[in-house]
Structure 1
Amino acid sequence: MAQVVIPYTPRPQFEPYHDRTERFAKIVAHRRFGKTVGCINDMIRAALTIDCSGRAGRPPRFAYIAPTYTQAKDVAWSYLKYFSSPIPGIDTSESELRVEYPNGARIRLYGADNYDRLRGLYHDGVTIDEPAQMDPRAWPEVIRPTLSDYAGWGTFIGTPAGRDWFYKIDRNEDGSPADGWFRLTLKASETGIIKPGELESLRAGLTGDQYEREFECSFDAAIVGAYYAEMMAQAKRGGRIGRIAADPLLPLRAFHDIGGSGGLADAYTIWIVQWVDQEIRVLDYYESVGQVLAYHVNWMRDRGYEKAINYLPHDGVQADKIQGKKYEDHWREAGFQVEPSVKNQGKGAAMIRVEALRRLGNRIWWNEATTEPGRNALIHYHEKRDEERNVGLGPVHDWSSHASDALGMMACCYEEPGRAANFNRVLNYPRMGVA
């Protein structure tokens, strides 16, 4: 067997990870530690040393998954090529972002912005980079099942963003640490990777919460600019998250977000809401990525929402990329009542949705069992900031945007009972019927 030397020397703090025996690993590391480099090299070693016998024509497969495909290419692709380059006989594909090794094993890069692309695949190991920036359902619904064929391993690496699913991934329901996990926390104050003077300079340019989160690995530091975190905390403290039922005498309303251009890589979200006197009852939530319209229609029918009044955003009048037909027409032809698409384009529309939903927050009651993914998205939804000028630049567009946009549209369409001549009429955003 030929000896291959890869130009990688692990940092001492990272050696325990390379020596681990646990199937799953969680690494919480400060910025600029080099966790991606370490995990890419760990994956290369796994690909080269795995036992390929008895695979029945199914060669080993490994995946590195970033929040978006572009991030995967920008962050990890050059590392994968560089550290694989000394290995003779490799096959590299720039178009597929993959490297195949002489034993048939393959490492490929993916983006969680289209995680449904991973359905049907199998993996011997996966590295999930910055899971806090991903849809929480990507792991349990799609990525985790790909490891079942060969009892594959999984590694999560990232910095905290509140007590989200990355925080909970290695914990039991009661919050206690789960068995079978390797854990490593790498704080900037302890690793010595960044010199003290540079750390002080970084600290001076960040808020306390930002520094604690990015460099001291704190899950308790607040996400700066989270629009709805306090609104959701108040709902929990006020007992407005629980078992909520619909009033059979009042109409149900479905608020949609088509997601960007409406292509198969976009998320499609639906909130099922009912306006009951002064209450807004949020009864159900749906989101899927990479599915055709018939899939969404079937969900509505399976849930018994055929008579719901459907509200589509401005792009409801646009044609989908599959059949070239308007989304409004698709839903009407499927037998659903559809209001004219809501006019929510233009400068400031996103912040109008945010303010409308915030003003209605104390009226909203949430059905706990069916809305958790949507509520998680609302808690995560936050603004992008220009730190030098200390100004907000509007919402960050990520996995949480679609759920937030759809419910924000609901808030803009809402009108108090008894105040409007036509209760079912959709309002344009500048005319929010909020007290």
Structure 2
Amino acid sequence: MTQDMYTPREHQAKIEASLARFSVLVCHRRFGKTVLSVNQLIRAARKTDRTDWRGAYIAPLYRQAKTVVWDELKRYCGLGLDNCTVKFNETELRADFENGSRIRLFGANNPDSLRGMYLDGVVFDEVAQMPHRVWTEVIRPALSDRKGWALFIGTPRGKNALYEIWEKAKLDPDWFTAMYRASETGIIHPDELSASGREMSPEEYEQEFECSFTAAIRGAYFGQLMSDADRDGRVTSVLQDPSMPVHTAWDLGMSDSTSIWFIQAKPGGTYAVIDYYEANGEGLDHYAKVLDQKGYKYGMHIAPHDIRVRELGTGKSRLEVSRSLGIRFDIAPNIPVQDGINAVRTILPSCWFDEKKCALGIEALRHYRRSFNDRTANFSTRPVHDWTSHAVDGFRYFAVGFRQPESGHRASKTSNDYNPFGRSHGRS
């Protein structure tokens, strides 16, 4: 099968006739959005007049791109047919066309690996599982000088990157948006939908087949607690108190992301979570500069226990390197992950979050979840390791590692009754 033999379904054909430079498709499971988007890239690669056209297909994880998309890309390019002129690089997951165009697959779990390139067309698949900054900080600039296009596709998983892009796109006349619910498309037989509805929870069904952004996130550890924070007005604008120290809690990545939370412990056992920072592939000197640039008066710096591990290249631990940079860490106790998760649950009702500065960290807390074991049909005792992990791990180290200097203060479970920041609970 070649790309020219691809026959779009009715809804796919309507989409292809309506796509703008930037488009967002929110679709139910089994809609065919991956096939549609793969063929959009192939068609653009073949029809371009540029000899250096570049396209990208970005999945949440690199292995997802390889498992879900790579075979589809090769199939619709005509692999195995006598007239196939496309060459495939298995190592780089790259398709090279005879006219000089290229399509390459990437994972959003390492966004900084995407920096420095230019792109003419890009597809974001399962946007709900990606950090929003992959689009705003990395890919959008890569499209600018060549006026490239972007297609976002996905099924909701709460209010995250897909939701944010969807909501903004609906208000922008230059964007195309469309939502396709299973009850409306007729792609899945009604009997099959009924059977799925009996086997799934109502929230799961609404999310996967009816494209609900408000359905509960399956297996979320802190979903209800973060909803409570929204309801109580504790996700708002939170000012730093310059008279009080700012404590930091870190998850230190080696080849992946490092996250830092900035938190003030208030009288009465409440916590002002005033800032959050995350970056990828940077050394400790970078984060020392970030601390300086923030300009806060610091208290404790809390790090995971593995900061003591010596690196093979230098023979020094990151604890030693950080001390040379003027950062003296307190080490969080090495306790089971589940105990740390329970500690986070204990302090979340006492936390106030700055909704702008902590936006990425807040979304991570909302979407951090247990994995589902298909073999046993039960949730695993272990959390999913994805883009949420670094932020939540850093917050977990704060929950287990911070000790209030003033004795006798315990986290109040009714902190919404007391607003330490001098503003009303509700949002304006």
Normalising by structure 2, report the TM-score. Answer: 0.88
What is the rounded CA distance, in whole Å, between the counterparts of 2:46 and 2:149 in structure 1? Answer: 15
Q: Please state if 1:79 is matched with 2:79.
A: no
Query: Residues 322 and 100 from structure 1, CA distance in 2 versus in 1: closer, same or farther, beyond 3 angstroms?
Result: farther
Q: CA deviation at 1:305?
A: 4.6
Q: CA deviation at 1:389?
A: 4.7
Give the letter aligned to residue 226 of structure 2: M
Check whether the contact 1:386–1:393 (CA below 8 A) recurs between aligned residues: no
Query: Could you say which residue in structure 1 is the equivalent of 2:10?
Result: 12
Q: CA deviation at 1:226?
A: 2.1
SS of match in other structure, 2:103: strand
Q: CA deviation at 1:354?
A: 2.0
SS of match in other structure, 1:25: strand
SS of match in other structure, 1:407: helix
Query: Could you say which residue in structure 1 is the equivalent of 2:302?
Result: 311
Q: Please state if 1:403 is matched with 2:401.
A: no
What is the rounded CA distance, in whole Å, between the counterparts of 1:321 and 1:189 in structure 2? Answer: 57
Q: Please state if 1:412 is matched with 2:400.
A: yes
Q: CA deviation at 1:398?
A: 1.1
Instruction: Map 1:285-364 onto structure 2 (within 5 A).
Output: 285-305=276-296, 307-320=298-311, 323-339=314-330, 341-345=331-335, 349-364=336-351
Query: Residues 199 and 176 from structure 1, CA distance in 2 versus in 1: closer, same or farther, beyond 3 angstroms?
Result: closer
Query: Residues 293 and 418 from structure 1, CA distance in 2 versus in 1: closer, same or farther, beyond 3 angstroms?
Result: closer
Q: CA deviation at 1:304?
A: 2.2
SS of match in other structure, 1:255: strand
Q: CA deviation at 1:385?
A: 3.4
Q: Please state if 1:378 is matched with 2:374.
A: no
Residue of 145, 148, 151 corresponding to 1:155 = 151
Q: CA deviation at 1:357?
A: 1.7
Q: CA deviation at 1:101?
A: 0.6
Query: Residues 24 and 414 from structure 1, CA distance in 2 versus in 1: closer, same or farther, beyond 3 angstroms?
Result: same
SS of match in other structure, 2:387: coil
What is the rounded CA distance, in whole Å, between the counterparts of 1:177 and 1:333 in structure 2? Answer: 50
SS of match in other structure, 1:43: helix
Give the letter aligned to residue 148 of structure 1: S
Query: Could you say which residue in structure 2 is the equivalent of 1:208?
Result: 202
Q: Please state if 1:394 is matched with 2:385.
A: no
My pick for the range that moved more, 160-169 or 222-231, is 222-231
Check whether the contact 1:257–1:402 (CA below 8 A) recurs between aligned residues: yes
Give the letter aligned to residue 351 of structure 2: I
Residue of 58, 66, 70 corresponding to 1:65 = 58
Q: Please state if 1:186 is matched with 2:176.
A: no
Q: Deviations over 1:395-427 (max 9, x none)?
A: 22111111111112111123355437xx9xxxx
What is the rounded CA distance, in whole Å, between the counterparts of 1:168 and 1:271 in structure 2? Answer: 22
Query: Residues 273 and 15 from structure 1, CA distance in 2 versus in 1: closer, same or farther, beyond 3 angstroms?
Result: same
Check whether the contact 2:3–2:39 (CA below 8 A) recurs between aligned residues: no
Unaligned runs of 5+ in 1: 54-58, 424-431
Q: CA deviation at 1:434?
A: 8.8
SS of match in other structure, 2:57: strand
Query: Could you say which residue in structure 1 is the equivalent of 2:227?
Result: 233
Query: Residues 197 and 258 from structure 1, CA distance in 2 versus in 1: closer, same or farther, beyond 3 angstroms?
Result: same
Query: Could you say which residue in structure 2 is the equivalent of 1:426?
Result: none
SS of match in other structure, 1:6: helix
Q: CA deviation at 1:5?
A: 6.0
What is the rounded CA distance, in whole Å, between the counterparts of 1:334 and 1:34 in structure 2? Answer: 52
Q: Deviations over 1:274-307 (max 9, x none)?
A: 2222221212111012223222221112112574
Q: Deviations over 1:102-134 (max 9, x none)?
A: 110100000001111111111100000001011
Query: Residues 198 and 324 from structure 1, CA distance in 2 versus in 1: closer, same or farther, beyond 3 angstroms?
Result: farther
Query: Could you say which residue in structure 1 is the equivalent of 2:261?
Result: 271
What is the rounded CA distance, in whole Å, between the counterparts of 1:251 and 1:280 in structure 2? Answer: 12
What is the rounded CA distance, in whole Å, between the counterparts of 2:320 and 2:154 in structure 1? Answer: 43
My pick for the range that moved more, 249-258 or 92-101, is 249-258
Instruction: Map 1:41-190 onto structure 2 (within 5 A).
Output: 41-52=39-50, 59-84=52-77, 85=79, 86=81, 88-172=84-168, 177-190=171-184
Give the letter aligned to residue 402 of structure 2: Y
